[in-house]
């Protein structure tokens, strides 16, 4: 094997790459991501740590790690196959020797038979073997990691995501989905004690000629193939009504909390600080809401004229402030839902990788190959990475471990 292959596919390179990936992730977790680029120092910008997981440095590290793991796994397949097919019992890992009496030797053989070892008598003694399939454990685990990395690549290259704000009656289309979503209603479900149990968005999904009624709730997404719609957030839309002294409507508008609007043909602006459905003043005299139930609804609103604050008002629905011969108030509010969407083709691969990883770990942890050569006065054992553990288990089979005398 050429030198560069040895280096690229070697364990030491793999370990160095893992350490570098960990260090990069530590730095990335401590640096706020994707803020205004002028806020970052030159060093952070140079290494791309302000968008760490899409930076060239990170992508190079991951690509090298992928190659390292792939090369290392492929290289190990042939020798592992030879070991697997060899008629000789595998001698893998550290050799451990256990002194035995004649009686213990016989007991051990019988015990191993009961524990489903394949026991064969040879000229030099008894050979007991088990779990040769475990030879593949490391390869299977590495394969799973490769599948995870592959899924990450597919996700980064093909996924689409975003969010969708809907109020009752709103109908929207999305590039990521071949169909339309219409919101029927948003519902907050309370339990018997009055605590919020669930946030439900009732939707009509139109796809071709078909109409499907679906409910999207927290932890209960709408899934269609690679597309998923999940509950992300919610809020209130408040209906502003501005009338002149004779009751003629000057302005109607929908405002979210913290929204403002400038009235037509006037220097007057309305700022909605917030809608508080279950209004209460905190100890610090800040308006808060105890719940999303409309028990004591209030609007906290400020008026501005040429950027100069005229006043702050707390109003009930239907109540109005009269300023300069016009009436300004809110009629009512309704809830809207924010749904997150994502189209990602990599998820089935993630599930496959998870299954393969569990299989690999089970092979490493439980089904590692065990070989025991039992002679009259000793037993020589090999158990891959767990020779010491198997030695202790055998000791425990024969006698108890001595009490610790620290």
Partner 1 sequence: MNLELVLFTIALIVYVFSAVAFVFAVGMKKIKWQGLGLILAAAGFVIHTASLVVRAINARRVPLSNQFEFATSFAWGIVFVFLILAWRYKLRAVGAIVMPLSFLLMGYASMLNKDVRPLMPALQSAWLPIHVGMAVIGYGAFALAAALGLLYLWRVRKRVNEEKNIGDTASARLELYDFLSYRSTAFGLLMLTLVILTGMIWAKSAWGRYWSWDPKETWSLITWVIYAVYLHLRLRQGWRGKKAAWFSVIGFLSVLFTFVGVNYILPGLHSYF
Residue 66 in contact with partner 1, rule: CB under 8 A? no
Among 67, 361, 367, 398, binds partner 1 (CB under 8 A): 361
Least distance from partner 1 to the Cβ atom of residue 98, Å: 13
- Binding-site size for partner 1 (CB under 8 A) equals 56
Least distance from partner 1 to the Cβ atom of residue 329, Å: 33
State which H helix or E strand residue 204 sits in.
Answer: strand 196-207
Distance from C-alpha of 200 to C-alpha of 71, rounded to nearest angstrom = 49
Ranges of H-type helices in 86-136: 102-114
Distance from C-alpha of 315 to C-alpha of 322, rounded to nearest angstrom = 12
226-255 residues in contact with partner 1 (CB under 8 A) are: 228-230
Burial class (CB in 10 A: 0-12, 13-18, 19+), 333: buried
E strands in 103-195: 118-122, 125-130, 160-167, 171-174, 177-190
Stretch that binds partner 1, among 110-118, 124-132, 217-225, 236-244 (CB under 8 A): 217-225
Query: Cβ distance 327 to 319 under 8 Å?
Result: no
Among 37, 281, 288, 358, binds partner 1 (CB under 8 A): 358
Among 1, 2, 11, 249, binds partner 1 (CB under 8 A): 11
Nearer to partner 1, 284 or 406 (CB): 406
Which two three-digit tokens encode residue 278?
């279950």
Binding-residue pattern over the window 152 to 191 for partner 1, x denoting contact by CB under 8 A: x--x---x-x-----------------------------x
Residue 342 in contact with partner 1, rule: CB under 8 A? yes
E strands in 222-267: 222-224, 227-244, 249-256, 260-262
Distance from C-alpha of 133 to C-alpha of 127, rounded to nearest angstrom = 17
- Taking CA 70 as the corner, what is the angle to CA 28 and CA 152, rounded to the nearest 5 degrees? 40
Among 177, 199, 276, 313, binds partner 1 (CB under 8 A): 199
Residue 288 in contact with partner 1, rule: CB under 8 A? no
- In the numeric block, the tokens 């190659």 are attached to 67
Distance from C-alpha of 140 to C-alpha of 360, rounded to nearest angstrom = 5
Q: CB-side exposure of 316: number of CA atoms within 13 Å?
A: 4
Nearer to partner 1, 52 or 372 (CB): 52
Distance from C-alpha of 241 to C-alpha of 327, rounded to nearest angstrom = 8
Residue 389 in contact with partner 1, rule: CB under 8 A? yes
According to DSSP, the residues that pair with 233 across neighbouring strands are 338
Residue 198 in contact with partner 1, rule: CB under 8 A? yes
Query: Cβ distance 385 to 391 under 8 Å?
Result: no
Residue 77 in contact with partner 1, rule: CB under 8 A? no
Residue 341 in contact with partner 1, rule: CB under 8 A? yes
Binding-residue pattern over the window 13 to 52 for partner 1, x denoting contact by CB under 8 A: -xx--xx-xx--xx-xxx--x------------------x
Stretch that binds partner 1, among 103-111, 170-178, 219-227, 266-274 (CB under 8 A): 219-227
Nearer to partner 1, 9 or 330 (CB): 9
Q: List contacts with partner 1 (CB under 8 A).
A: 11, 14-15, 18-19, 21-22, 25-26, 28-30, 33, 52-53, 152, 155, 159, 161, 191, 193, 195-199, 217-221, 228-230, 340-342, 344, 347, 350-351, 354, 357-358, 361, 365, 385, 388-389, 392, 401-406
């Amino acid at each position: 094997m050429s030198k560069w292959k040895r280096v690229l596919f070697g364990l030491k390179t793999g370990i160095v790459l893992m350490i570098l990936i960990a260090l990069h992730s530590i730095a990335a977790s401590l640096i706020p991501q994707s803020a205004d680029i002028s806020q970052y120092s030159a060093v952070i910008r140079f290494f791309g740590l302000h968008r760490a997981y899409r930076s060239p440095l990170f992508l190079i590290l991951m690509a090298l790690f992928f190659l390292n793991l792939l090369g290392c796994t492929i290289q190990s397949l042939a020798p592992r196959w030879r070991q697997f097919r060899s008629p000789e019992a595998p001698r893998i890992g550290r050799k451990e020797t256990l002194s035995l009496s004649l009686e213990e030797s016989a007991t051990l053989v019988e015990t191993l038979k009961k524990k489903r070892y394949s026991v064969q008598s040879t000229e030099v003694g008894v050979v007991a073997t088990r779990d040769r399939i475990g030879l593949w454990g490391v390869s299977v685990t590495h394969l799973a990691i490769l599948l995870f990395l592959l899924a990450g690549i597919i996700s980064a290259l093909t996924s689409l995501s975003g969010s969708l704000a809907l109020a009752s009656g709103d109908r929207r289309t999305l590039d990521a989905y071949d169909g339309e979503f219409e919101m029927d209603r948003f519902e907050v479900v309370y339990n018997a004690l009055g605590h919020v149990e669930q946030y439900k968005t009732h939707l009509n999904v139109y796809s071709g000629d078909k109409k499907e009624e679906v409910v999207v709730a927290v932890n209960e997404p709408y899934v269609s193939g690679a597309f998923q719609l999940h509950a992300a957030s919610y809020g209130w839309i408040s209906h502003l009504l501005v009338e002149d002294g004779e009751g003629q409507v000057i302005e109607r508008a929908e405002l979210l909390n913290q929204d403002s609007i400038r009235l037509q043909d006037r220097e007057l602006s309305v700022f909605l600080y917030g809608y508080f459905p279950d209004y209460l003043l905190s100890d610090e005299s800040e308006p808060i809401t105890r719940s999303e139930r409309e028990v004591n609804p209030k609007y906290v609103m400020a008026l501005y004229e040429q950027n100069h604050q005229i006043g702050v008002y707390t109003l009930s629905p239907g109540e109005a402030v009269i300023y300069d011969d016009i009436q300004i108030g809110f009629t009512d509010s309704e809830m809207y839902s924010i749904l997150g969407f994502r189209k990602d083709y990599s998820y089935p691969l993630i599930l496959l990788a998870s299954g393969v990883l569990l299989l690999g770990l089970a092979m490493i942890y439980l089904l590692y190959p065990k070989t025991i050569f039992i002679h009259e006065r000793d037993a020589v054992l090999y158990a891959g990475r767990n020779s010491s553990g198997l030695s202790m288990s055998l000791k425990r089979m024969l006698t108890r471990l001595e009490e610790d005398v620290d």
